[in-house]
Amino acid sequence: MSDYKEMWSSLGLDLETHDAVLNLVGKTYQDVFLSQNNRPKGMEYFDFVVSEIHGLRIKELLDAKAEGRKIVGTFCVFVPEEIVLAVNAICVGLCAGAELGFEAAEEYIPRNTCSLIKSAFGFKLAKVCPYIEATDLIVGENTCDGKKKAYEAYGNIVDNLYIMDIPQMKSEAGRALLKSEYKKFADKLEEITGVKLTVENLKKGIETVNNKRKAILRLANLRAANPVPISGLDVLLANQVYFYDNPERFTASVNAICDELEQRIEKGEGVFPKDAPRILLSGCPMAIPNWKIPNIIETSGAIVVGEEMCTGERGSQKLTNDNANTVDQLLDNIVDRYFQIDCAVFTPNQTRYEHIKEMAKKYKADGVLHYSLQFCQPYQIEAISVEKNLEKEGIPVLNIETDYSQEDIGQLKTRIEAFIERLKK
């Protein structure tokens, strides 16, 4: 890695703490990812991305800002990247995947708040996330009640927060609310960028994001093969990098891996034995460096073959239709696409159960591990329904509730190994 200390200092980062965080992430990455056998050569690109996670990409963002482009930071898949790209801005996911700065965060939000929310506060308060500091606009979305109330406090520690309301029911009124929010968001982006939405630039934004989704879905589909040609950890990493890498470069890199994997499949090559139990992950998103659960699974003799989560197919499963002649019609198409996301904040949410079952069948999963963050009520409550629905269909389910700490790894490993033994019988 190049020396970026001057750049980090200019962003106001706490250099000592930041160095410690990067060293920890680097060691964890080496232990979890670089210790794997027979990884696709194309994963070298993602190894490089992680090695420069706060370096080269941040420099690219700052260079873009110097050219007049705006940086829009997000925490959620409900923020439409198509619109951000259309006005020549850049969309990046923000740091929220590690137990960091929690003590400082608890001065603003309760201790019994989910790790994802606390992490968003912790990274800012500890001054270790250059993505947060590089943004011109941070978009908070009113999905769960925890986020809704936490953003009130978050607005006290950042000065560029924009709140987007998300409907809770998939009704006509809910769809109308989402469209009005996307129109207001577009107005805000036009205001800060000075670029007006047009049919041409919005279609271009849709095309770029659709290409990204096609590439990551192509990668997902290859995991139906037996033996599986790539580990679940490596695919999760690609899904995580999806949120902050340059879109065109990301798309090309994922397609290159897919080309390589197709050759592996033709030769019958895999990263795990054919009889390794196949597990579908479902539930809360896993942001970098949250690799705890899939690492336990894949060092215990099973393989993850799919992710029904925002860092997975829930975030990328649908494309946006670009067949329209006006900006308003294109916005309708964007709303239609995002309104199909089956996040647990919706009620009722039957489509999510159907989606999990479809994925389990498609990827020939032997069982489903449902992952909930502690204090995440929407996913904790749906976990019960998911288990009942799937077990009724003969699909074994293990419900795991955890946080970002490493303290429960032993207990989790015991439970996951027992589940894997169940799947072998």
* pLDDT tens by residue, 404-418: 999 999 999 999 999
5-196 carries CATH number 3.40.50.11890: yes
According to CATH, the topology of domain 204-229+236-318+343-424 is: Rossmann fold (3.40.50)
Mean predicted confidence (pLDDT) in 213-229: 98
The answer, yes or no, to whether residue 311 has pLDDT greater than 80, is yes
* pLDDT tens by residue, 82-138: 999 999 999 999 989 999 999 999 999 999 999 999 999 999 999 999 999 999 999
The answer, yes or no, to whether residue 36 has pLDDT greater than 80, is yes
Domain residue ranges of the chain, discontinuous segments joined by +:
5-196, 204-229+236-318+343-424
CB 284 within 8 A of CB 369: no
- pTM comes to 0.96
CB 94 within 8 A of CB 132: yes
Sheet of strand 90-93: strand arrangement: 90-93, 71-74, 137-142, 161-165
Structure tokens at 314: 């829930």
CB 182 within 8 A of CB 80: yes
**pLDDT score for 295:** 98
**pLDDT score for 323:** 96
Average pLDDT, the chain: 97
* pLDDT tens by residue, 189-213: 999 999 999 999 999 999 999 999 9
DSSP element (H, E) containing 8: helix 5-10
CB 314 within 8 A of CB 341: yes
Structure tokens at 363: 């990827």
CB 236 within 8 A of CB 309: no
Are the folds of 5-196 and 204-229+236-318+343-424 the same? yes
